[in-house]
A and B are shown apart, each in its own frame.
Chain A
Amino acid sequence: MQNQTEYIVEVSDLKKTYEKVEAVKGVSFNVSKGELFGLIGPDGAGKTSIFRILTTLMFPSSGDVKLLNYDVVSEYKNIRTNIGYMPQRFSLYQDLSVEENLAFFARIFGTTIEENYDLIKDIYIQIEPFKDRLAGKLSGGMKQKLALCCALIHSPDVLVLDEPTTGVDAVSRKEFWEMLIRLKQKGITILVSTPYMDEANMCDRVALIQNGEIMSIDKPEAVIANFGRKLWAVKSNNIYQLIQDLRSIDFIDTVFPFGEYLHVTAKDLDLDLKDLKLRLKEKNHSEIEILEIEANIEDCFMELMTK
């Protein structure tokens, strides 16, 4: 096969089975050089299995997987020196200081902190005031920054980040994504997984994954354009009752809470708004608001899940 673009990651019909459980059920995707690629899905979707196979920590059950043109089974040693990996669980040495951890990772990859300092500078200066503190004593946000520095210190071509923002508050999540965008601008190819659907918008392309299968793979705006049906945001004075009442209306299809509104689809292409408003009034709703809206990634994910 001839590659028009340069693919950094090539995954073809990847399967992974643990005893009876099929965790990854024939997944295929490519990632181009310099791309920020997101694997979006809940716990148990297969994200970690895929990343562990890509980083050569585990063999696939079947399928072809290549990173930087090296095969993950027969040429795994060539891959390891060229990737940076941040596992989901904090995996640095808790009883070494910030600086010692960084120096350690630099040294096992045969480099020094000084050599690649430019790459980590933006991030490292934020934790440098605590460089003598033991890694185990850092706050969650600082641990995450140190882990990213350690994954970067050998200047890898590819960065693989497994759920770096899970359990992290909204502010730190935002800061973390800003760091990733800056790294991308330096030409590093980044693969990142997340259960937070709203983070899809920060990626160049995303794969929406559920139960070991990729449901959709595209640019975030293209995923949204493929939603393919009209969507309305509805609210009233009694949101809980509104969920039940909307579900009992024959021409309504799905009803999902979304912040202060409910997102609603119809069984037909369109919706008779007057009729709907009337029916809700009959059921004693007041302050009724109905507006047509554009779907977001989470709407798309749920639509694909119910298909």
Chain B
Amino acid sequence: MNDREKKENYMTKDTENIIVVKNLMKKFGSFVANDNLTFEVRKGEIFGFLGANGAGKTTAIKILSGLSFPTSGDVMVAGYDVYKERELVKKNIGYMSQKFSLYEDLTVRENIRFYGGIYGLSSKYIKEKTEDLLERLKMKDIQNSLISSLPLGWKQKIAFSVAIFHDPKIVFLDEPTGGVDPITRRDFWEMIYEASNAGITVFVTTHYMDEAEYCDRVSIMDKGRIEGMDTPGELKRQFDAQNMDEVFLKIAR
């Protein structure tokens, strides 16, 4: 990517909102899991969605990915309404979680083909893109290995590639690097940067506070509310903190 392209990419980043959430409420009985959330995410942005366990992150991600209805509020994802256009929302997003993302008893190649098929891509396209992907991941040699035989770090790289195989507008990553070794964790973040540079919006949760620093903007939830949202640099200034770890402790403790 040359400078001009990057600049254009940055410009679009600045103008186009790919996620728009206004006064989102989600209640389970009397329990308020998401309390009046309002935020926007720009196209191509790496948006860190942080919070303590039980703060309401998973609930919000489920709503944003069309798996659960809000109790009230407006939520637009990739230009679609999560109340009325859930299937279109799902088609335009990718999702990867720490726990389940690939079929252990299928090979690397089979997993890629399966996900490509689910998103309705043609066999020819899947075949071409798979070759390209295996090349880039340097995984040609293991394309016919079962996922179960691979180290966690490799699995997570494949899982991420599969999650963006259909060129979604947004990819949701739920603790993608938990338990991964420190070098692979950093390789993984370089893949995230790459995707973001290619215009894919990245919505990511993590418990590693150094990873919060890699995000363009970060929101921090506590007890169902967003208590801080800005660039890491600005949050550190606001909360008079040395690093994001301190910001997090000041908000969530």
Give chain A's interface residues, CB within 8 Å of chain B: 41-45, 139-141, 163, 166-174, 195-197, 210, 239-240, 243, 256-260, 284, 298, 301-302, 305-306
Contact = CB atoms under 8 A, between A and B. Distances in A.
Contacts of B232: 260
A46 to B, nearest CB: 12
Given A42-B152, A167-B178, A259 B243 contact: yes
A181 B244 CA distance: 24
B252 interface: yes
Contacts of B214: 239, 257, 259
A260 B183 CA distance: 17
A166 B208 CA distance: 11
B22 interface: no
Contacts of A306: 183
Contact of B207 (A42, A141, A168, A260): A168
B248 interface: yes
A44 B249 contact: no
Contacts of A257: 186, 189-190, 214
B243 A171 contact: no
B197 A166 contact: no
B209 interface: yes
B153 interface: yes
B62 to A, nearest CB: 18
Nearest 5 Cβ contacts at the A-B interface = A42-B181, A43-B179, A259-B213, A169-B52, A259-B210
B53 interface: yes
Nearest to A299: B182
Contacts of B245: 170
Contacts of A171: 52, 248-249, 252-253
Interface string B195-208: 00100000000011
